[in-house]
Amino acid sequence: MIGSPEILGANILIVDDQPANAELLERTLRSAGYTALTTTLDPTAVFGLHGQHRYDLIILDLVMPVMDGFEVIEALKEIEKDSYLPVLVITAEPGHKLRALQAGAKDFISKPLNLAEVQMRVHNMVEVRLLHVATRRLYEQVLAEREAQERLSDALQAAMVRVVHDFDEPRGIVAKSGPMRKVVDLARRVAKVDSTVLVIGESGSGKERIARLLHDESTRAGGPFVAVNCGAIAETLLESEMFGHARGAFTGATGERAGLFEAAHTGTLFLDEIGEVSPGMQVKLLRAIQEREIRRVGDTKNRKVDVRILAATNRDLAKAVAEGSFRQDLFYRLNVVDLRIPALRERRDDILPLARVLLAEAALRMKRKVSGIAPEAADQLMRYDWPGNVRELENAMERAVALALPDSTRVELADLPEEVRMASPRPRAEHGRPRPLEEVEKEHILATLAQNGGNQTHTARHLEIGQATLYRKLKSYGLIGGDARKPVAAPGG
């Protein structure tokens, strides 16, 4: 809402060729508290004045000898590109009122003047004008912010495209390491044939990405790719999800419903976490895969399906077969070709390239300008073992983008999760041969001491050794004799 000080401070121009009328209007408005008033007797001067001062209101007499008010209104339209023309006209002619409004004036005052009416109409028009200006400014601000966000989004998108193109990896898979490159190469070869493939790997290692690669590079790429997490669906619902159901098959089955096998017809069905399926459901899956037909729950009709099966698990299915919890015949049917995805800790050459791709994706999603990783943060990413694999790295990058300072353009060490920041240096091999145990132990002890700010008590507790043992170790490293409590930098850190 516009306040009184803003209204009374509005910039107002009075245009009347009669000095007495102009003086009366000015005196009336000043008595009401208006302070920014300008008066002119020359209607031709309006255009220069308004172009220079952009008045919030122009009070305009319509009948003037040199140039009447209608001509002034038409000329003002060329100056006031805004659709709102802040003109209040004064006239004694009833027919002029409608004509003035049609020409573009916003209101009128009849002669002889009612001074109370003058004050009321001026107040109302100024308030509307100021609200209009404020709204326009807000709109322009929103447009500017949107354009800025679009430019940022375009820049981030371009950065992400550059990142992905730099790696030149298929389907969003980063495979710079030897082990992962072998997996991708094998997946591409297997994709060309219609064999069932079992993808094996720890949770979060990217099994579905590999499954999508198998689909996208197969002859079925034009068909649907349907993924289902078998471990996330209750056993009582899984059969209906897989095969569909007939009307009345169970309580709540008010109509027929196709299952995932039918949804994936002519395409690929990806059964994630296949090791979680119950023995009873394993029998039904085996039949569907062998016979290439399914029967909806509660139906008597078999339906042919043309589906390629891909399955994934983080369990040792061969061990499960030996223990009797997984059917041997289903295992052999699924395990025609197996693709074993290495854990992220086994493909360390992929950590930083992956981190950059995931960082670009998170920055694009959050509309942030973070596009790099500080060297200290990169070191810790390489040191950490990533038990949650790519999914944990993705979460770490999303967290880093969310916590990054507004003007920051890179991920700093402080933006990483605590467990990543506290990761100790990994033992490095020298010339392809393992380093001596004593050297590795020393590096680990010094790194832990540095992480604890040189505090030997906390360091001993974290290392789970006695303080006397730690004291002897530090003394053998030549660190006792000076200030053994000061922070000690870890080698290679």
Higher pLDDT, 65 or 277: 277
The helix (run of H) or strand (run of E) holding residue 110 is strand 107-110
Instruction: Please check whether residue 406 is in contact with residue 398, taking contact to mean a CB–CB distance below 8 angstroms.
Output: no
Average pLDDT over the chain, rounded to whole? 84
Mean pLDDT of 144-150: 74
Q: What top-level class would CATH report for the domain 424-493?
A: mainly alpha
Instruction: Please check whether residue 357 is in contact with residue 372, taking contact to mean a CB–CB distance below 8 angstroms.
Output: no
* Half-sphere exposure of residue 484: CA atoms within 13 angstroms, side-chain side: 16
- The whole-angstrom separation of Cα 459 and Cα 452 is 6
The pLDDT value recorded for residue 491 is 40
The pLDDT value recorded for residue 487 is 43
Higher pLDDT, 360 or 269: 269
Higher pLDDT, 5 or 492: 5
Q: Which of 224-238, 244-258, 282-296 has maximum average pLDDT?
A: 282-296
pLDDT at 172 over 80: no
Q: Above pLDDT 90, what percent of the chain?
A: 36
- The whole-angstrom separation of Cα 124 and Cα 84 is 14
Q: What number does CATH give the domain 171-342?
A: 3.40.50.300
Instruction: Grade residue 167 by pLDDT with cuts at 50, 70 and 90.
Output: very low
What would the pLDDT profile of 184-200 be if each residue is shown by its tens digit? 999 999 999 999 999 99
Mean pLDDT of 340-360: 91
Higher pLDDT, 427 or 102: 102
125 C-beta neighbours (distance < 10 Å), count: 22
Classify strands 57-61 and 36-40 as parallel, antiparallel or unpaired.
unpaired
The pLDDT value recorded for residue 52 is 82
Mean pLDDT of 437-456: 78
Amino acid of residue 92: A
Looking up tokens 């589906």 gives 307
Structure tokens at 306: 């043309």
| Whole-Å CA distances, 182 to 225, 309, 313, 358, 367 | 24, 22, 19, 22, 35
- The whole-angstrom separation of Cα 191 and Cα 394 is 27
The pLDDT value recorded for residue 1 is 47
Q: To 5 degrees, how large is the angle CA 238–CA 243–CA 245?
A: 95
Task: Of 70-79, 253-262, 329-338, give the lowest mean pLDDT range.
Answer: 70-79
Instruction: Grade residue 493 by pLDDT with cuts at 50, 70 and 90.
Output: very low
The pLDDT value recorded for residue 477 is 77
Report the Cα 373 to chain-centroid distance in Å: 18
The DSSP 8-state label assigned to residue 433 in this structure reads B
The pLDDT value recorded for residue 88 is 81
What would the pLDDT profile of 9-53 be if each residue is shown by its tens digit? 888 989 888 898 889 989 999 998 988 888 888 888 888 888 788
The pLDDT value recorded for residue 444 is 76
Instruction: Please check whether residue 224 is in contact with residue 264, taking contact to mean a CB–CB distance below 8 angstroms.
Output: yes
The pLDDT value recorded for residue 476 is 84
Mean pLDDT of 181-186: 93
pLDDT at 166 over 70: no
- What is the pTM assigned to this prediction? 0.57
In the three-class reduction of DSSP (H, G, I as helix; E, B as strand; rest coil), residue 61 is classed as strand
The pLDDT value recorded for residue 154 is 62
Residue 268's φ and ψ, nearest 5 degrees, are -125, 135
- Bridge partner list, 257: 245
What would the pLDDT profile of 293-347 be if each residue is shown by its tens digit? 999 998 889 999 999 999 999 999 999 999 999 999 999 999 999 999 999 999 9
Q: What number does CATH give the domain 347-421?
A: 1.10.8.60
Instruction: Please check whether residue 380 is in contact with residue 423, taking contact to mean a CB–CB distance below 8 angstroms.
Output: yes
Classify strands 308-313 and 268-272 as parallel, antiparallel or unpaired.
parallel
Q: What number does CATH give the domain 4-136?
A: 3.40.50.2300
The pLDDT value recorded for residue 149 is 67
- The whole-angstrom separation of Cα 184 and Cα 347 is 13
- The whole-angstrom separation of Cα 53 and Cα 162 is 49
131: Cβ contacts below 8 Å, ≥ 6 apart: 2
The structural domains of the chain, with segments of one domain joined by +, span: 4-136, 171-342, 347-421, 424-493
332: Cβ contacts below 8 Å, ≥ 6 apart: none
Structure tokens at 105: 């004036």
Instruction: Grade residue 437 by pLDDT with cuts at 50, 70 and 90.
Output: confident
Asked if the domains at 4-136 and 424-493 fall in one CATH topology, the answer is no
- Bridge partner list, 304: 293
pLDDT at 99 over 50: yes
96: Cβ contacts below 8 Å, ≥ 6 apart: 62, 63, 89, 108
| Whole-Å CA distances, 465 to 23, 311, 341, 419 | 96, 46, 37, 21
